[in-house]
Structures are given as C-alpha cells and as structure tokens.
Amino acid sequence: MAYLLQQLANAVPLAALYAALAFGYAVAFGVTKRADITYGAIFAFAGQILLLFTELAYARFWLVLPAALAVGACASIVYSLAAGLWIGRSIMLPLVNKSPNTVIVAALGIMIVLMETARLAANTRSIWLPPFLNDTVVFWSDGLFKVTLTHIQLINTVLMSAIVAVGTLILRRTAWGRVWRAVTDDPLAAELCGTSADRVFLTAYAAAALVATICGILATFYYGSMDFGAGLMFGLKVLLIAAVGGHSDPLRSAGGAAGLAVVETMWGAYGPFVWRDLVVFSLLVLLLVMSRRERVVL
C-alpha cells in the first residue's frame, strides 16, 4: 500500500509538467491547426540555455548558486522567448497563411537548428546542476517506509498547476481569450469583425513559447540536466499527450496529459521500464485512432 501511494505521489509532479506543456501546446495549436514539434524543441532549448548561463555565472563569474540560477533563468527566458517570437513571426505565420502543411516539415528543421545551436554552444558537453531543495516532506508513514516528495517537486507542481489555472482564467474570463477562441474557430470571420488574426496568432505562439520556457526551466531545476535530443522526444510526446484530451480545449488537453502521466508512472513502477516509452506511445496512438472526432485538415 505504501509503495502504491509513493508511486501516486511521484506521478503528481509529472502530471503537473505534462498538463502545463499540453495546455501551452493547445493554445498554439488553436491558431496553427498543425502538428508542431517546435514546442518541444523550445522546451528543451530553454533548459539547455539555463544550464549554459548558470555554468557561466557560477564557474567564471564566481556567483553563488542562487544568483547563478537566477542569471541562467533570465537568460533562458530571454533567448527562448526571442526564438519563439522569431519562429512565430518569420516562419510559422507565413506558412500557415500560404502553405499550412509545410508547418510540419519546417518544425523539424527548426528543432534541428535549436538543438544543434545548444549542442555547439556547450561543446557537446553534458552540464549538470548541483542538487538543491532536495529535503523531503513526509505525507504518510508505514513503519520504515515513508511516502515523500522533495521541496523542488512540490514547488514545481504548484508553479505548473498555477500556469494551467491562470491560463484557463485568461482564456475564459478576458477579452483576449474570447478573441483567441474566435480566431481558432474561424480566422476569416474574426478578421471581418475587426480582429487581427495575425496579431492573435503571434500572441498565442508567444504565450505557448513562454509556457514551454518556464516548464523547461523548472524541469531542468528538478532533473539537473537537459539532453540534446530531448527536443524531438518531448516534441513528439507533447504532440500526442496534448491530443489525449483534445486540442480544441486547452484545459481538457491538460487533464488528458495529467492522466497519461499517472499511467506512465504506474507502468514504470510495476512494468518493465525498458518498454515504458513504447507502451505509452502505442497507447497514445491507439487512443487517438479510436477517439478521433476532429475534421481532417488537408
């Protein structure tokens, strides 16, 4: 029983990460209407920039660890948001307006550029952060076995859940949320009503890039590093997990992603770990094929 409770506790931070990533992806998908693995690349790129600038501040400028982490986080936000805005304005917006199907191919090229840029900047080195905020909080005890989570897990869970909550309030309670919904439903009709669909597109893409950046920073804080190939893996995984709850509603997409995180954690706890990703991706594909209701966009 205690082991099961621990695994459920372990699933909570992962569920919060997947939910926040799926929420941001759904916001961008609403205006692109195409699969875009660039989102996962920005997530990984944010973590790698964090590592690069934290190492620079810590090893060369002799800053204390909290200050070095702050420098790395600020640099990550600046570089990742700049990359997201440039990608949205110069690549995705023209392609969506003229040749939407090429978005998928362009996304693959952008992912390669971002990952190779980070790899070359790091000289193909794996940079690791020193562990911090690893003190545990005990939720339940059964003799010698204790159900715990670390402070960094709890902080990440709260912040990522706040991203989903605040984002939902913005989409449902503000004028921009209503405009976003109008553009996602019919960009031409929104334009005829006086709304700039291009401006909404760029704002939505920038908001999604910001969510991916924050999640990349928090995930790197917890895991301690970010692999150079993580962009493709997270790009594909986010693309699929966001579709579990449906791309049409970011909150439902976040809920489906959180449920998948629980399934993934339970498989890692009770099933062969080496087959985890294969089982998860196969389950996602099967679920999407069986539940597909959205109109195919050609």
DSSP code per residue over 18-40: HHHHHHHHHHHHHHH-S--THHH
| pLDDT by 10s per residue, the chain, length 298 | 778 889 999 999 999 999 999 999 999 999 998 888 899 899 999 999 999 999 999 999 999 999 999 999 999 999 999 999 999 999 999 999 888 888 888 998 999 999 999 999 988 888 999 999 999 998 888 777 888 999 999 999 999 999 999 999 999 999 999 999 999 999 989 998 889 999 999 999 999 999 999 999 999 999 999 987 777 777 777 877 776 666 778 998 898 889 888 988 998 888 887 888 788 878 777 777 766 554 444 3
Give dist(CA 237, CA 222) in Å, integer.
19
Q: Give the model confidence (pLDDT) of 113-127 as tens digits.
A: 999 999 999 888 889
CB 228 within 8 A of CB 49: no
Q: Cα dihedral angle (268, 272, 278, 279), rounded to 10 degrees?
A: -70
pLDDT reported for residue 236: 79
The distance between the two most distant Cα atoms of the chain, rounded to a whole number of Å, is 67
Helix (H, G, I), strand (E, B) or coil at 193: coil
Give dist(CA 166, CA 17) in Å, integer.
15
90, with CB counted inside 10 A (0-12, 13-18, 19+), is exposed
Q: Give the model confidence (pLDDT) of 40-62 as tens digits.
A: 899 999 999 999 999 999 999 99
Residue 171 falls inside a structural domain: yes
Residue 143 falls inside a structural domain: no
Give dist(CA 119, CA 43) in Å, integer.
15
The CATH number of the domain holding residue 8 is: 1.10.3470
Residue 296 falls inside a structural domain: no
Residue 135 falls inside a structural domain: no
Query: What is the extent of the structural domain holding 67?
Result: 2-125+151-291
Residue 137 falls inside a structural domain: no
Mean pLDDT over the full length of the chain: 89
DSSP code per residue over 89-130: IIIIHHHHHH-TTHHHHHHHHHHHHHHHHHHHHTTTPPP-PP
- Residue at 116: amino acid letter: E
Residue 230 falls inside a structural domain: yes
How many structural domains compose the chain? 1
Residue 133 falls inside a structural domain: no
Query: Which residues, 6 or more positions from 55, have their beta carbon under 8 angstroms from its beta carbon?
Result: 68, 72, 127
Residue 142 falls inside a structural domain: no
